[in-house]
Amino acid sequence: MAQQKKMNFSTGTGIAQYPWLTKPDFAFDSNGQYKVNLKVPANDAKALMDEIRGIAKAEFGDKAGSARMPWKTDADTGEIVIITKSKFKPKIVDSAGHMIRDDQTPPIYGGSTLKLAGTIYPYKQAGNVGVSLQLAGVQIIELVSEAQGGGSVNFAPVDGGFVAANDNPAADEASEGEGGSYNF
């Protein structure tokens, strides 16, 4: 494998999926990983995808066609989901480009609008070749709170429908072990 100089990348704006940016995810890596997928329109991702394909061709030659790439296509929308990760905590900046201190960084939930930057890293591992995007920086364009994107369920009110009473003493007694209704 030819020694390639480090190539940096940056994305346009996209929507965050499964962000682990303020603390590492230990689910599949005992050392922890900072990571986020970024969903962007296909035409906005084209230049980055072409650059990565060019790096793969330079690094792997004929094997570039079978190299693992750091994106997938959303089957429903046709948008590109860019996959990034790092063992190091990324630098986080606000929409004006000002660095946010670690102790001041808000939780970043899925649905937030972000831009990403880092290093393009071609690799050979266990007979596989591919390119990964090593995350180094995140710019928060629009922050989604937990209530907006952190797994909550939201429905618009329906006039004339069922409304639970939160001050129903009979339901409170029933929920203490006799079965019956639940008061949310």
pLDDT of 4: 52
Q: Determine the average pLDDT of the residues in 19-37.
A: 95
Per-residue exposure over 46-81, b if at least 16 CB sit within 10 Å of its own CB, e if not: eebeeebeebbeebbeeebeebebbbeeeeeeebbb
Distance of CA 100 to the CA centre of its chain: 19
pTM: 0.76
Residue 52's closest CA among 91, 106, 10, 24? Answer: 10
In a domain, 181, yes or no: no
pLDDT of 160: 84
For residue 148, is pLDDT > 80?
A: no
In a domain, 163, yes or no: no
Residue 139's closest CA among 71, 91, 82, 80? Answer: 91
Q: What is the C-alpha R_g of the chain?
A: 22
In a domain, 55, yes or no: yes
C-beta of residue 20 within 8 angstroms of C-beta of residue 33: yes
C-beta of residue 34 within 8 angstroms of C-beta of residue 21: yes
pLDDT of 172: 47
Mean pLDDT of the chain: 86
In a domain, 113, yes or no: yes
In a domain, 2, yes or no: no
Interatomic CA distance for residues 29 and 101, integer angstroms: 26
In a domain, 166, yes or no: no
In a domain, 110, yes or no: yes
Please count the structural domains in the chain.
Answer: 1
Model confidence band, residue 162 (pLDDT cutoffs 50, 70, 90):
confident
Interatomic CA distance for residues 173 and 37, integer angstroms: 46
For residues 96 and 155, the model is more confident at 96
Full domain range(s) for residue 149: 7-153
Check which CATH number belongs to the domain holding 35 and give it. Answer: 2.40.50.140
In a domain, 161, yes or no: no
Interatomic CA distance for residues 118 and 138, integer angstroms: 9
- Name, in order, each residue with C-beta under 8 angstroms of 59's C-beta and a sequence gap of 6 or more: 1, 2, 4, 122, 129, 131
What's 35's DSSP letter?
E
